Chains A and B, each alone.
Chain A
Amino acid sequence: MERQTTSAGAQLSRVGNRKYPRRRVSIVLQYAIFPAAILLLWQVCSEIGFVRRNVFPPPSAVLAVWYDLVTGSTDAAARYSGTWLDHAWASTWRVFAGFGWGVALGIFVGLLIGLSRAMERVFDPTIQVLRNIPVTAWVPLSLVFFGIGNAPAIFLIGLGAFFPAAINSTHGVRQIDITLYKVARMMGANERELLARVILPAALPSILTGARLAMGIAWVLVVVAEILAVRSGLGYLLNDAYLFYRNDVVIAAMLSIGLLGFLSDRLVVVVRDFLLTWNKRETFGGEN
């Protein structure tokens, strides 16, 4: 097996690229064709008046508004002109603050449950019940407790991030190959060495899967929290623009959330791939 095994399809295409430069063009096309088709269809629908422009503005208008949102140079976004960076930053740091405490606590509790049947009996039933309460159902209580502001937002995001981190950490410990544990014990590893050098590295792939799921949930919850509990951020921008009937700003905010969510996910993936160079598996990629 090769070190950097990816998919059978990807290997084929690497060979293909060197010989046939046209191949690369066709790959770019494959990536571009679907989003381009959507944008085109959307633009056409708006242009022919199939939907009213102020109800569903065309991509060209959204782009113009987005540009002004970010730069503040054309006033296309009117009262929102130039506010993008503040909102984007507000949302991003809330996501990372909530993600940080939720995932950290989740990993800690998840490992405890995974390592000890006693801890499982203490914590697991409660967690299993609580995780079935949608985090959005915590909104009223968290507003009563924390008031309007960052605190309820970060609480809700962390709560949402906690469960996948905890459950996947427990799973990560439970699926460890018992042989590896036996080998280390046979060689004389003490408790600390077993934890740091066998259990944690073996559980890491699953822990990081939990972190990735948590990041996805964090972006969902930041929008919920910003609509209901705090007066800044992309979720707030989206809701406020909706109240002022600025659907172009709404769509620009939506796409901004999608983009930042995507970048955050990439960040987790990059960290994961950095930590788990050994965990690459051969996957089915289909014909290229």
Chain B
Amino acid sequence: MARISLASVTKRFETGDSVVTALDDVSLAVQDREIVTLVGASGCGKSTLLNLIAGFETPTAGQVLVDDHPVEGPGPDRGVVFQQTALFPWLSVEDNIAFGLSLRANRAKADPQQVVEHLLQKTGLSAFRNRHPAELSGGMRQRAAIASVLAINPSTLLMDEPFGALDSLTRSIMQDFLLEIWEEQRKTIVLVTHDIDEAIYLADKTVVMTAHPGRIREVIEVNLQRPRRYDMRSESPYIALRDHVTRIVRTEAIKDSGLSAVN
């Protein structure tokens, strides 16, 4: 049984007179405890797909099921990590992490103090617990944001280009941080990215999407050994996968932009 399944999902946006088809007849299954990455050029509807699973959008046609129930709105079973810093600027790091558990809906879930303490340690933010988001670096901010979502212990993590705003060094460190958490907690993760390396390195399954209209072009099984290591990136199985994905994404992007292919 798939944890998340999309059956012939179409999503159209009406803006004034024009109608944009963000997703066209998309079907996808995400298994329990699997990491699925969505990759593709901008405008391919990958963020829309994530928003549908999160419940921020409703499909124009088709069905989005989570644990066999149609999605009816956002909920704490699906934690969303956004690209922009999703921390409350008026709360300290500690209070940001505790925010979810302090809500009426999650109060009975766990002892907030214990959870916060654990997550501060896990994310290496213990020394910065009293700082406000504006006083943190980009990487620290995103770790705090991930911690604040993990605090409500969602079974699924939906991540919308979570490391897109970070420099490449910080980004690769954050990828290992995410994998470490996954090895420990084995959550189901759906992650949107435009970084092909990131898409392969993290994934059990990489979904390559094409734009206008947004469709799934290919689903690629990433059979690399776990736990992943950074130096796998220079080994041939990884390189073969990356070349394959790059070729599709590039071809589609060139086709879409109307440019004649350079090579």
Contacts and interface: CB of A to CB of B under 8 A. Distances in A.
Interface in A187-206: 187-190, 193, 197-198, 201-202, 204
A131 B190 CA distance: 50
A190 B74 contact: no
Interface string B72-112: 01111011101011101111000000011001111000000
A129 interface: no
B82 to A, nearest CB: 5
Given A188-B106, A198-B88, 20 more contacts: A179-B85, A182-B56, A182-B86, A183-B80, A183-B86, A184-B99, A186-B76, A187-B79, A187-B99, A187-B105, A188-B103, A189-B103, A190-B104, A193-B103, A197-B99, A201-B90, A276-B90, A278-B132, A279-B90, A281-B134
B75 A1 contact: no
B82 A187 contact: no
B136 to A, nearest CB: 9
Nearest 8 Cβ contacts at the A-B interface: A188-B105, A187-B100, A186-B74, A188-B76, A278-B90, A183-B86, A278-B132, A201-B90
Interface of B: 54, 56, 73-76, 78-80, 82, 84-86, 88-91, 99-100, 103-106, 131-132, 134-135, 148-149, 152
A24 interface: no
Contacts of A1: 134-135
Contact of A179 (B76, B86, B100): B86
A121 interface: no
Given A1-B134, A179-B82, A182-B82, A189 B105 contact: yes
Contacts of B131: 3
Interface in A23-74: none
Given A201-B88, A278-B134, A186 B80 contact: yes
B74 to A, nearest CB: 4
Nearest to B75: A188
Nearest to B77: A188
A3 B106 contact: no
Nearest to B145: A183
Nearest to B91: A278
Contacts of B100: 187-188
Nearest to A1: B135
23 contacts: A1-B134, A177-B84, A179-B82, A179-B86, A180-B86, A182-B74, A182-B86, A183-B86, A185-B73, A186-B54, A187-B99, A187-B103, A187-B106, A188-B103, A188-B106, A188-B152, A189-B103, A190-B104, A193-B103, A198-B88, A201-B90, A278-B90, A278-B91
B89 to A, nearest CB: 6
Contacts of A3: 131-132, 135
Contacts of B54: 186
A6 B90 CA distance: 18
A198 B132 CA distance: 16
A187 B107 CA distance: 11
Nearest to A280: B134
A197 B104 CA distance: 12
A36 B96 CA distance: 50
A201 B106 CA distance: 21
Nearest to B101: A187
Contacts of A184: 99, 103
A177 B88 CA distance: 10
B155 to A, nearest CB: 14
Contacts of A193: 103-104
A1 B133 CA distance: 10
B11 to A, nearest CB: 17
B134 A186 contact: no
A193 to B, nearest CB: 6
A278 B135 CA distance: 10
A244 B79 CA distance: 74
Contacts of B103: 184, 187-190, 193
Interface string A258-288: 0000000000000000001011010000000
B105 A180 contact: no
A190 to B, nearest CB: 6
B82 A183 contact: yes
Contacts of A182: 56, 74, 80, 82, 86
B104 to A, nearest CB: 6
A187 B80 CA distance: 9
Most buried by A among B74, B85, B104: B74
A193 B103 CA distance: 7
Nearest to B79: A186
Interface string A1-26: 11100000000000000000000000
Contacts of B86: 179-180, 182-183
Contacts of A180: 86, 88
Contacts of B82: 179, 182-183
Contacts of B152: 187-188
A3 B132 CA distance: 8
Contacts of A198: 88
